[in-house]
Amino acid sequence: MKTKPSTPVVLYWHRTDLRLHDSPALHSALRLNPSIFIPIWTWDPHYVYRARVGPNRWNFLLQCQNDLSASYTKLNPKQKLWVVREAPHTVLPKLWKRWAVTHLVFEKDTDAYARERDETVMELAKEAGVQVIVEMGRNLFDPDEVVKRNGGKPTMSMSQIEKAVGGINSGRPGGVVETPERVPDPWDQERMDLSAVEQEGVDSTGDVNREYRMKEDAQYVKIMGPGEDFGVPTLDEIGIGSAQVSTPHKGGETEALRILEGCIQDEEYVGRFEKPKTSPAAFQPQSTTLLSPHLHFGSLSVRKFWWDVQGVLEDRAKRKKPNASIPTNLPGQLLFRDMYFAAQAAIGHAFSRTYGNKIVRFIDWHLQSTDIATSGKKQPGEKTYTVDSEEAEIWFHRWKEGRTGFPWIDALMRQLKQEGWIHHLGRHSVACFLTRGGCYVSWERGAEVFQEWLIDHEEACNIGNWMWLSCTAFFAQFYRCYSPVAFGKKWDPEGELVRHYVPELAKFDKKYIYEPWKAPIADQKKWGCRVTGDGSQSESDGMKAYPKPMFDFDERRQTCLDSMKHAYDVGLHGDDARVKDGSWREDFEGDENELGNDVEYIS
**Total length of the chain:** 603
3-state secondary structure of 294: helix
Q: Is 291 annotated as a binding residue?
A: yes
The candidate with the shortest Cα–Cα distance to 439, out of 572, 551, 516, 546, is 551
Burial of 319 (0-12, 13-18, 19+ CB in 10 A): exposed
Amino acid at 226: P
Under 8 Å between Cβ of 68 and 81: yes
C-alpha 272/C-alpha 264 separation (Å) is 12
Distances (CA, A) of 266 to 288, 302, 305, 314, 315: 13, 19, 14, 15, 13
Under 8 Å between Cβ of 193 and 229: no
Q: Checking phi first, is residue 365 left (phi over 0); if not, alpha (psi -120 to 50) or beta?
A: beta
C-alpha 306/C-alpha 288 separation (Å) is 15
Containing H/E element for 252?
none
User: What is the DSSP annotation of 400-438?
Assistant: HHT-SS-HHHHHHHHHHHHHS---HHHHHHHHHHHTTTT
Partner residues linked to 271 by β-bridges: none
Burial of 202 (0-12, 13-18, 19+ CB in 10 A): middle
3-state secondary structure of 298: coil
Per-residue exposure over 330-364, b if at least 16 CB sit within 10 Å of its own CB, e if not: bbbbbbbbbbbbbbbbbbbebbbbbbbbebbbbbb
The candidate with the shortest Cα–Cα distance to 57, out of 475, 521, 458, 338, is 458
183 Cα distance to chain centroid: 32
Q: What is the DSSP letter of 278?
A: S
C-alpha 121/C-alpha 90 separation (Å) is 9
C-alpha 19/C-alpha 107 separation (Å) is 12
Q: Is 288 annotated as a binding residue?
A: yes
Cis peptide before 143 (omega within 30 of 0): no
C-alpha 455/C-alpha 288 separation (Å) is 15
Q: Is 354 annotated as a binding residue?
A: no
Q: Is 290 annotated as a binding residue?
A: yes
Half-sphere CA count of 205, side-chain side, radius 13 A = 3
Per-residue exposure over 389-402, b if at least 16 CB sit within 10 Å of its own CB, e if not: beebbebbebbbeb
- Rg of the chain, C-alpha, whole Å: 25
Distances (CA, A) of 91 to 28, 128, 189: 23, 13, 19
The long-range contacts involving 569-574, CB below 8 angstroms and separated by at least 24 positions, are 570/362, 571/361, 572/361, 572/362, 573/357, 573/358, 573/359, 573/360, 573/361, 573/362, 574/350, 574/353, 574/354, 574/355, 574/356, 574/357, 574/358, 574/359, 574/360, 574/361, 574/362
Binding residues: 288-292
Residue positions in the annotated binding site for FAD? 288-292
